[in-house]
Structure 1
């Protein structure tokens, strides 16, 4: 009898243990990371390369065993670089897919649009090429707690362009043509003007157009009257190409300068010879010796060159995020946020990454100057501002 009771008790204990184990929430088999990226639409040229590079980084991390034995799973959605679509996508990521962090977007306006969603959910987001200062710092000067970036910011990029025009091109007079409906374009124009005037230059005109407009002859006509040495056009490649053609048609001979939005090869198809000799600020250049292994791997997998700079930034963001997850020992949003903010001297693809916890921006991020020459982008110099 005693043996039967003992056996019964053992069976009950085993059954209870099994039931309790079944009630415990299962540990996720993968670490889900969202990728908010423009795969179609006006920014698709960069977005597709950005997504490709991110997958290349993930493949390498997973092949090496993942993060603490868990593989990374990328949940990618096409934002189309559209603010409303991006908000819907991020809601889906945090509410349904349960991602632990998000890489992207590359557009400042999109990053600002989704801020409330990812921050309310306490899901860290690392913007790739969103350069507007407001992406990580609110209007009241406080840091946006769960939003970071891996690129430099507009004040730096606009300042680089202004100082390069003064010091390297010897410009005395400059004009700007910018998109008043686009935060990226507005901020670059603003900081170019400040740097150029601070250095002793004169702004002869600052002309704006509205997003979607493709005829800039009226604005360029006013710019021509001031006979500037350089014209700063901080737009995407389509608008820059059209402005270049129209400027040359009007007989404007000023040197054209742009921001990193110019860095798409189709600018040559769109602008033709009108873009020859123009300069622009970028985050990276193909000639950079530190990225040659990456370029080799990218070409081997995708059979083409990446369209810089977005792919380098998404690759760096993944390395940064993987390191933060390891240091945090957790995928909890707050722990991960703290680890991201505390990043110091991390070797990434483009150099050494240290984050300023007061604004969630990288410190001492250099820029490169490239020139449109013979249908290709050529490296001119690496530029560090004097401010």
Structure 2
């Protein structure tokens, strides 16, 4: 359900990029404001693919880059083997076998949006070859491997549904179709710049390219933003909400509110619905999203006469998980009314798995931001869902609550 809700955001992104084409054609994509500069790579010594499409091996062993189906990123699921075979067939020019293998992957996992996108892209290319149907190419930049691969899968599901609706109903002028390329920047935020450099090369090589949907995380968007802006490439993010991104580039846009807005609303919810007067905050000060969300929550919460009893600093990602149980005990020792967790679902899952089931903190509320709205929590965390509250950019009943049932999308 959450991935379908992303359609609201993705449809706006695809439509926004398309209708901005006239402006960006006046500022050619891929042409740097520093023409003498050539793309350099600072995460690996491997040369980038000349046309932008292809992958390289990152220092941690992940395959990062851009795929048109000739690379499969999400291969750990039940259809992974078929997708890898499909990629090999497409590289060899055997599109019929590639499509058959993607269909095979979908019989194992009907929600495999990566395969669905590659199949729809073949439909777009075939229509162009046989009927000269125009199309535009958009890169979906996200994380398909690493700690946040589930976020990437959500992004692709929303993007595919939007792509399919646009293409089936000819929503773009002149019957123009939408082709999507999948970009994976992996587990390290710094890899986003490497992928951004590939996007610049793609923009120079492919005249149908119009822009980027992504990145979903502020940390990745902030790493990529300068490389894309120098090449006049628009980036429209679905969920990057760090306030530092506001006005950071004339080529950066987003369809979700900034952190300050959701943090203020979160503080009001803590006070009015959870009746909290004290809180302990969890934050990674080196992560832009975490840092800004916690800062604005604390400002509003304390401005309203409440207290932040302590701030527990943790590290986003797997390397910080071992410390979280002890940080939770430290927080509980302060006897807060709530915990404000400014971070991600992959991290708070550890906290939810270690919450007490009896005693004083058996019902301790944990509040956070939109990054906690994920479906792929570990099974050990599910018992802690009764503690969990978060602000979100979209929700299934939002039209009903506002008496806008007549405007509710069909999906």
Q: What's the TM-score bracket when you normalise by the shorter of the two chains?
A: 0.5 to 0.7
CA contact (8 A) 2:133 2:177 kept: no
TM-superposed CA distance for 1:95, in Å, is 1.7
TM-superposed CA distance for 1:160, in Å, is 1.4
Distance change >3 Å, CA 146–CA 28, structure 1 → 2? farther
Q: Which residue of 2 aligns with 1:3?
A: none
Q: Which of the two has greater strand per residue?
A: 1
CA contact (8 A) 1:61 1:67 kept: no
Within 1, Cα distance between the matches of 2:367 and 2:274? Answer: 11
The answer to whether the aligner puts 1:281 opposite 2:388 as a matched pair is: no
**Secondary structure of 1:279's partner?**
strand
Within 1, Cα distance between the matches of 2:168 and 2:352? Answer: 46
Q: Which residue of 1 aligns with 2:145?
A: 40
Within 1, Cα distance between the matches of 2:134 and 2:376? Answer: 42
Within 2, Cα distance between the matches of 1:126 and 1:150? Answer: 7
- 1:233-244 matched pairs, under 5 angstroms: 233-244=341-352
Q: Which residue of 1 aligns with 2:107?
A: none
The answer to whether the aligner puts 1:248 opposite 2:356 as a matched pair is: yes
2:155 pairs, out of 38, 47, 50, with 50
TM-superposed CA distance for 1:243, in Å, is 1.5
Normalising by the residue count of structure 2, what TM-score does the alignment of the two structures yield? 0.59
The answer to whether the aligner puts 1:91 opposite 2:197 as a matched pair is: yes
Within 2, Cα distance between the matches of 1:171 and 1:59? Answer: 45
2:282 pairs, out of 144, 155, 177, with 177
Within 2, Cα distance between the matches of 1:205 and 1:86? Answer: 33
- 1:97-136 matched pairs, under 5 angstroms: 97=203, 98=206, 99-136=209-246
1:262 pairs, out of 369, 372, 383, with 372
Q: Which residue of 2 aligns with 1:190?
A: 295
1:224 pairs, out of 320, 327, 332, with 332
Distance change >3 Å, CA 278–CA 69, structure 1 → 2? closer
Within 1, Cα distance between the matches of 2:230 and 2:283? Answer: 33
Distance change >3 Å, CA 29–CA 82, structure 1 → 2? farther
1:213 pairs, out of 320, 340, 360, with 320
TM-superposed CA distance for 1:190, in Å, is 0.9
| Alignment size in residue pairs | 264
Q: Which residue of 1 aligns with 2:180?
A: 74
Distance change >3 Å, CA 188–CA 34, structure 1 → 2? same
CA contact (8 A) 1:231 1:257 kept: yes
- 1:289-328 matched pairs, under 5 angstroms: 289=399, 293-295=409-411
Within 2, Cα distance between the matches of 1:92 and 1:270? Answer: 39
**Secondary structure of 1:96's partner?**
helix
TM-superposed CA distance for 1:200, in Å, is 1.2
TM-superposed CA distance for 1:227, in Å, is 1.1
TM-superposed CA distance for 1:247, in Å, is 4.0
**Secondary structure of 2:356's partner?**
helix
**Secondary structure of 1:130's partner?**
coil
CA contact (8 A) 1:245 1:275 kept: no
Q: Which sections of structure 2, spanning at least 5 residues, go unmatched?
A: 1-131, 400-404
CA contact (8 A) 1:162 1:196 kept: yes
TM-superposed CA distance for 1:130, in Å, is 0.5
- Give the number of the structure whose alpha-carbon radius of gyration is greater: 1
Deviations 1:77-99 (CA, angstroms, capped at 9, x unpaired) = 12225333322222222322542
1:166 pairs, out of 271, 285, 299, with 271
CA contact (8 A) 2:143 2:186 kept: yes
Within 1, Cα distance between the matches of 2:382 and 2:157? Answer: 28
Within 1, Cα distance between the matches of 2:290 and 2:151? Answer: 17
